[in-house]
């Protein structure tokens, strides 16, 4: 029997100082996600707009959007997710962190299917693990974490492709996307951004030296 991850055993983790309940078994927040989310949140905090509208899409536990709401005052943040269990997990974590209801909405949506707004910032940690690399995934992850939050087609790019084609239409004039991905997907992501008319983008390494996220300007 594969041991249950210690985070599920504890029932929670801390993510950028926020307590994140894991009782509904969402994807366990990763340190590399915490690394880029911290950079993105500091970027958003320096934005001069009077009200900043943000979207945390593929929200899972809600850790990114909840940390953003906790650390930046003048924002509205929608947390978007398609799985009912994870939508309930987001509601639990909103309560755990005592966030003001007027500052956020929780949206059930498959990528952008139910989203009509435009945002200043979109923060995205989609499923991106390649099914053809399943042998590289830990046994504890495969046994206990939600595959719907991990895998996205044979090369891991199915959801990212759709997301990037549609996301530009959901950004305001100077809108920005932060996107997490696998470093082997960098070249195709760059091609998609060029083909879909994005103005500029920059790839970044995570704290482990791997190319892990990209900042995209509309």
Is 201 contained in some domain?
yes
Residue 198 pLDDT: 97
Give the number of domains in the chain: 1
- What tens digit of pLDDT does each residue of 160-199 get? 999 999 999 999 999 999 999 999 999 999 999 999 999 9
Is 1 contained in some domain?
no
Per the prediction, the chain carries an average pLDDT of: 95
Look at residue 33 and tell me whether its pLDDT is greater than 80. Answer: yes
- What tens digit of pLDDT does each residue of 105-125 get? 999 999 999 999 999 999 999
Is 196 contained in some domain?
yes
Residue 34 pLDDT: 98
Is 171 contained in some domain?
yes
Is 14 contained in some domain?
yes
Parent domain of 199: 6-217
> What's the whole-model pTM score?
0.96
Residue 201 pLDDT: 98
Query: What percentage of the chain has pLDDT greater than the value 90?
Result: 87
48 token code pair: 């001069």
Is 102 contained in some domain?
yes
Is 156 contained in some domain?
yes
pLDDT grade for 137, boundaries at 50, 70 and 90: confident
Is 17 contained in some domain?
yes
The enclosing domain of 102 has a CATH number of: 3.40.50.150
């Amino acid at each position: 029997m594969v041991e249950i991850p210690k985070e599920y055993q504890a029932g929670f983790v801390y993510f950028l100082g926020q307590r994140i309940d894991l009782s509904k078994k969402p994807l366990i927040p990763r340190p590399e996600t915490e690394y880029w989310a911290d950079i993105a949140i500091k970027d958003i905090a320096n934005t001069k707009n009077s009200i900043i509208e943000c979207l945390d899409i593929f929200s899972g536990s809600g850790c990114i959007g909840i940390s953003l709401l906790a650390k930046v005052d003048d924002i509205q943040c929608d947390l978007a997710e398609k799985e009912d269990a994870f939508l309930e997990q987001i509601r639990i974590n909103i309560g755990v962190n005592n966030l003001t209801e007027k500052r956020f909405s929780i949206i059930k949506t498959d990528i952008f299917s139910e989203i009509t707004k435009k945002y200043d910032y979109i923060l995205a940690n989609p499923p991106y693990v390649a099914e053809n690399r399943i042998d590289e995934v830990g046994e504890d992850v495969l046994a206990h974490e939600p595959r719907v939050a991990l895998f996205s087609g044979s090369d891991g790019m199915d959801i990212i492709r759709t997301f990037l084609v549609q996301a530009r239409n959901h950004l305001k004039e100077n809108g920005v996307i932060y996107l997490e991905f696998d470093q082997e997907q960098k070249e195709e992501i760059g091609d998609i951004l060029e083909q879909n008319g994005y103005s500029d983008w920059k790839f970044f390494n995570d704290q482990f030296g791997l190319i892990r996220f990209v900042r995209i300007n509309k």
